[in-house]
Amino acid sequence: MLKRLALAMLAAGSLFAVQAGAQTEISFYYPVAVGGPITKIIDGYAAAFEKENPGVKVKPIYSGTYQESIVKALTANKAGDPPVLSVLLSTDMYSLIDEDAIVAWDELLKTDSDKAWHKSFFPGFMENSQTGGKTWGIPFQRSTIVAYWNKEAFKEAGLDPNKAPASWNEMVEFGKKLTKKDASGNVAQWGVQVPSSGFPYWLFQAFTTQNNVVLMNKDGTQTYYDNPAVIEALQYWVDLSKKHNIMKPGIIEWGTTPKDFFERKVAIMWTTTGNLTNVRSNAKFDFGVAMLPSGKRPGTPTGGGNFYLFKKSTPQQREAAMRFAKWMTSPERAAQWGIDTGYVAARADAWDTPEMKKYVQGFPQAAVARDQLQYAVAELSTHDNQRVTKALNDGLQAALTGSKTPEAAMKDAQREAERILKPYRK
């Protein structure tokens, strides 16, 4: 009995070995961060790719939120069995390099078409994907921050419904007209809402970029949280509620911000372009999508996820993974992905495809994010990223809830970031 079992196992083992020799299997982790049937779309892509590329088997594995995905990927890496390919936050680049978990894409780019593919993405998205002269991430599900405004509310307030605030001063001026109180003195509708829960640093980076200052250096070893222009940007954000009374005081929840907008509790909201499809299907009023207002200049950080290639993989797997990533980011696929989800199609030629042209014609709001890209900067990312970012997040929330002044909050955050980053400077 035992002998027979052992024989059967041996047979099964050799069968498996034969199959593995003929086919290259690439496992692929992906997170879901926006609404919609993402899992179905990804499975469809994988199946279509397998049909065009016999010999490669793609195994897509849904891995939760971005945070859960990086935990799973890095834990699997430590256990010696990471995925071959994974979509993770572009800002996790330094952490993945420090853990020695990923390889750069450069060595895989052999043909001219490979090299052209590599250069086809918007430069704004490549900033978070390259360091030390190498490319570690391939832009896939990328986004920026845009402003959504309620045209009906603008009309009621006597404003031009087709004109969003274009400057910091205009945002305050419009906001004052848009903030409405009910009979008992409670605010029924706020002018502006910039969410500050969870990852306030991302939205704050829009203010700092507009104030023409950067938060970190290119090597990810230095932050500039206590730069006077950074403090000034924070003062503007704090003043929206403290001085001008046009934004809800306290910490504003990211998750319920679109709902606040649908319920007409706020006239202008800042959120990701990834919410575009959500707003389009749920707003019961005419709405507009605009670039964020300018301070000294227009600006927004980019956000979202890149493809990373894990180090513990065979040469065949890496080659197949490159082909898959290239196929997934081809102009047609990038266009379709953008239309299905609201993410910004990450390359210029995707916007020239017939499907995308038709989509933008019927829904011009979709092109705002693309047009804003020329002003976009890299999202805050450093070595020991999450810890350095937390220092900033804590400082921002302290200033927004009024427990510290903007200046004290940013000085504390900078001191903490200095302490963490010192070992990374050589």
Residue 282 in the binding site for other proteins (CB under 8 A): no
φ/ψ bin of 259: left (φ > 0), alpha (ψ from -120 to 50), beta (otherwise): alpha
Residue 32 in the binding site for other proteins (CB under 8 A): no
Q: Minimal distance in Å, beta carbon 400 to other proteins?
A: 7
Q: Which one of 110, 250, 296, 357 is in contact with other proteins (CB under 8 A)?
A: 250
Tokens at 47, concatenated:
């199946």
Spell out a b/e string for 7-24, using b for 16 or more CB atoms within 10 Å of the CB, else e. eeeeeeeeeeeeeeeeeb
Q: Which stretch binds other proteins (CB under 8 A): 118-126, 138-146, 298-306, 390-398?
A: 390-398
Q: Minimal distance in Å, beta carbon 185 to other proteins?
A: 7
Q: Which one of 40, 110, 119, 259 is in contact with other proteins (CB under 8 A)?
A: 259
Contacts of 389 (CB under 8 A, 6+ apart): 91, 199, 201, 380, 382
Residue 394 in the binding site for other proteins (CB under 8 A): yes
Which parts of 136-227 fold into alpha helices (H)? 151-156, 168-178, 200-210
Concatenated DSSP letters of 292-304:
PPBSSS--EEEEE
- Specify whether the CB–CB gap between 168 and 293 falls below 8 A: yes
Spell out where 31-114 has E strands: 56-62, 85-89, 102-103
The CA distance from 189 to 285, in Å, is: 15
Tokens at 331, concatenated:
């102009």
Residue 104 in the binding site for other proteins (CB under 8 A): no
Contacts of 331 (CB under 8 A, 6+ apart): 347, 349, 350, 352, 353
Tokens at 242, concatenated:
């403290």
The CA distance from 404 to 398, in Å, is: 5
Tokens at 90, concatenated:
């572009």
Residue 387 in the binding site for other proteins (CB under 8 A): yes
Q: Minimal distance in Å, beta carbon 401 to other proteins?
A: 5
Q: Which C-beta is closer to other proteins: that of 118 or that of 265?
A: 265
Q: Which C-beta is closer to other proteins: that of 253 or that of 286?
A: 253
Q: Which stretch binds other proteins (CB under 8 A): 49-57, 113-121, 178-186, 363-371?
A: 178-186
Residue 198 in the binding site for other proteins (CB under 8 A): yes
Residue 384 in the binding site for other proteins (CB under 8 A): yes
Q: Which C-beta is closer to other proteins: that of 93 or that of 146?
A: 93
Concatenated DSSP letters of 380-419:
P--TTHHHHHHHHHHHHHHHHTTSS-HHHHHHHHHHHHHH
Q: Which one of 180, 386, 411, 418 is in contact with other proteins (CB under 8 A)?
A: 386
Residue 397 in the binding site for other proteins (CB under 8 A): yes
Residue 177 in the binding site for other proteins (CB under 8 A): no
Q: Minimal distance in Å, beta carbon 223 to other proteins?
A: 16
Residue 95 in the binding site for other proteins (CB under 8 A): yes
Tokens at 84, concatenated:
């071959």
Concatenated DSSP letters of 113-139:
HHHHHHT-B-HHHHTTTEETTEE--EE
Residue 260 in the binding site for other proteins (CB under 8 A): yes
Q: Minimal distance in Å, beta carbon 190 to other proteins?
A: 8
Residue 92 in the binding site for other proteins (CB under 8 A): no
Q: Minimal distance in Å, beta carbon 131 to other proteins?
A: 16
Q: Which C-beta is closer to other proteins: that of 195 or that of 299?
A: 195
Whole-Å CA distances, 236 to 215, 246, 312, 412:
16, 12, 47, 19
Which string of x and - marks every residue 120-149 that binds other proteins (by CB under 8 A)? ------------------------------
Q: Which C-beta is closer to other proteins: that of 236 or that of 261?
A: 261
Site for other proteins in 44-73 (CB under 8 A): 67, 71
Q: Which stretch binds other proteins (CB under 8 A): 156-164, 222-230, 247-255, 267-275?
A: 247-255
Residue 219 in the binding site for other proteins (CB under 8 A): no
Positions that interact with other proteins (CB under 8 A):
67, 71, 74, 95, 98-100, 184-188, 196-198, 248-253, 255-256, 259-260, 263, 265, 384, 386-387, 390, 393-395, 397-398, 400-401, 403
